[in-house]
Every structure is written in C-alpha cells, then in structure tokens.
Amino acid sequence: MGEGRLTVRKAWIVAGAALAAGLSFVMLLVVGVYIVAGNLAGGVGGASKALAKGAVPAAYSALVQKWGNLCPAINPALLAAQLYQESGFNPKAQSAAAAQGIAQFIPGTWATHGMDGDGDGDRDVWDPNDAIPSAASYDCKLASYVKDVPGDPTKNMLASYNAGAYAVIKYKGVPPYKETQNYVKTITTLQQSFAAPVSRVDPSKQAAGAIYYAQKKLGTLYLWGGDGTAEDNGRFDCSGLTKAAYESVGITLPRVANDQWNAGPHPAREELLPGDLVFFSDDLTNSRAIRHVGIYVGGGYMIDAPRTGAVIRFDPIDTPDYFGATRVTEDGAKALPTTV
C-alpha cells in the first residue's frame, strides 16, 4: 500500500509540474504526437474480422460475429457499423418511414428477405435473432446481384443497399449520387470503430490541441449536462469537456460518451497516446453502457470532469471500470450518425 501511495503521489507531483509548466507541457505533447505520427505513418492495416472488445452489446455480439462472416462482401465490423448506423442497436427502433427493428427493415423488404434466424418457427422483424441474420443475408444477396460489376465488392454491395443493384450495374460501380457515395463512405469508415485493430493505429494530429484545451479547464467546477457555454458558466460534464476539446481543433464529436466511443479505432492499453479518449463502464461487455470519458495525457493519467461537486482534474485511468480507448479520427467522427 505504501508503494501505491508513493506512486500516486509521484504522479500528482508530475501532473502539478506539468500544469505549472503550462504551454511548455503542451508543446512537448505536440512534438511527441507528431514524432510518433511520423514514425507510424502507413502502419495501419484494413478492418479486422474480429470485433473490438465490447463494441457490440453482449446480447448481439455472437450473432454479429457469426453472421458477419456469411459472405466475402461483409465482415462482423461492417455488419456492426450498419446496425449502429441504422438503430444504435435498439431492437425497438422505428423510423418515420416505417423501418422497423434493430436492422431497420421496411415491411416490403422484410416480407421478401426476412428469415427465421433462430429456427423458432417465425420471422419477427423485432427479434434481433431474426433481424441480424436477415440483414447479413440481405447484404450478401445484394452482393451476389452485383458480383460482376468492377470495383470493390463491399462498396458495390453497400451502394446497392442504398440506391439499388440496377444503379450499380448501370454505372459499373458506385453510382454518382451524393447520398449513395456518402452512405458507402460512412459505413466503410465507421466499421473501423467496431473492429479489433490488427496493427498499431495512427495517432491523431489534433490530439495535442485537444489536450491543451482541456488543460486550460483544470479546476473548473463540474456541471451535469454542461457544454462550457456562457449559460453553463463555462462548466462541463465529462463528455461535454471531451466534445469541446476536440471541437477546438475542428473535430465534431457526438454529445454523449457512448457515441464518442465510435469516433475511431481502439488502441490497446499499452498503445495509448496523449489525446486518446478513455472510457469507463460498469458493464465491460457493452459500449452502449459507457458512463464516463476523459482525455489521456500519459503516465496512466487523464484529464476529466468526474462528477458533481468535483472539478476538472487529473485522474488515474487504471481502475476496475476502465473500458477501453478510442483514437479520434476526423473521418471517424464525421461518419457518426447525429442520432442513434
């Protein structure tokens, strides 16, 4: 216990010195981040077929992993990205256009492509055990329609999902429709946040600026729901702080922590770099249950807005409720839906 207290005391001394150093601390981070970025450039592989830890709620993870390997045009991370984009993994979701369930099938499409995924004798659009296999099956069916079209089979499949297979065949690839092109880019980008990385992921070039912003807020009193506005007297809650920090460097994140998790790929604990978002949850199997987020600053510490009655401060990240981390990317943040 004595050694543990000494370690924490040393960390706080270092943190205090860093705070006193002000801009020089940030400049070291800037240099460090850019040096690592240069060293690691080009070191990122494609999406893995394995899902990142907890990226899909535990109730659906096995289904997504199994059916995401149904055909070469899809993978579990891509299927997860579609489900998140469509419903936020909400099996009761219903849109104004009558799209229903976790996979948001419209009735006509479900009547043709819905399947009895769990073999219980019915095809229920509201049951993820039917809807998730049906979504994968429908993706693969679309891929088969456009298998002879030049280009990337996955992108052609996604374009078919959005614009119809005829349009993909007609234009010999993703058609020149802005909506369709955005849909394809969104899903293929978003899949990175559901995939377990197969190699080290590049650091964000905006990380040092985000830390600088958060550092300037140290000592500010917490406010639940606070965004740092004049109406909030410059106060923040945890995700309000991280959102504002990245907004200061031109990256717009969702408002709540469990959606911020999907703003990029997920480095392992030993791969953390300053600027990574670090997340905490009482359910380590489900990213939708994340309840807290901070900005990693190195040495096992983050800057965070912890709770009512506390101030923005340095806190350790190695606690039993540590969920994981996200390396924020511009494309990843842009791909996130505004509502899920």
pLDDT digits (tens, 9 = 90+) for 311-323: 999 999 999 999 9
Q: What angle do CA 242, 264, 241 make, to 5 degrees?
A: 0
Q: Which residues of 49-84 are buried (b: 16+ CB within 10 A; e: fewer)?
A: bbbbebbbbeebbebbbebbebbebbbbbbbbbbbb
Which residues does 95 contact at the CB level (< 8 Å), separation at least 6?
104
Split at pLDDT 50, 70, 90, the class of 13 is very low
- Model pLDDT, residue 304: 98
Whether 87 contacts 102, CB under 8 Å:
yes
- Model pLDDT, residue 340: 62
Mapped onto helix, strand or coil, the DSSP state of residue 250 is coil
* Residue scoring higher pLDDT (53 or 314): 314
- Model pLDDT, residue 38: 35
- Model pLDDT, residue 337: 81
In this predicted structure, the answer to whether residue 211 has a pLDDT above a threshold of 50 is yes
Whether 217 contacts 236, CB under 8 Å:
yes
| pTM of the full structure | 0.80
Q: In one letter, which amino acid is 264?
A: G
Neighbours of 325 (CB within 10 A): 25
Dist. CA 289–CA 124, nearest whole Å? 26
CA dihedral over 15, 19, 20, 23, signed as positive or negative: positive
Q: How many residues does the chain have?
A: 340
- Model pLDDT, residue 50: 85
Quote the tokens at residue 288: 């939708």
The mean pLDDT of 115-139, rounded to a whole number, is 97
Strand partners, 311: 221
End-to-end Cα spacing for the chain = 44
Dist. CA 113–CA 104, nearest whole Å? 12
- Model pLDDT, residue 244: 97
Quote the tokens at residue 3: 């050694």
Split at pLDDT 50, 70, 90, the class of 24 is very low
Strands of the sheet with 301-304, listed across from one edge: 313-316, 301-304, 292-298, 277-280, 322-326
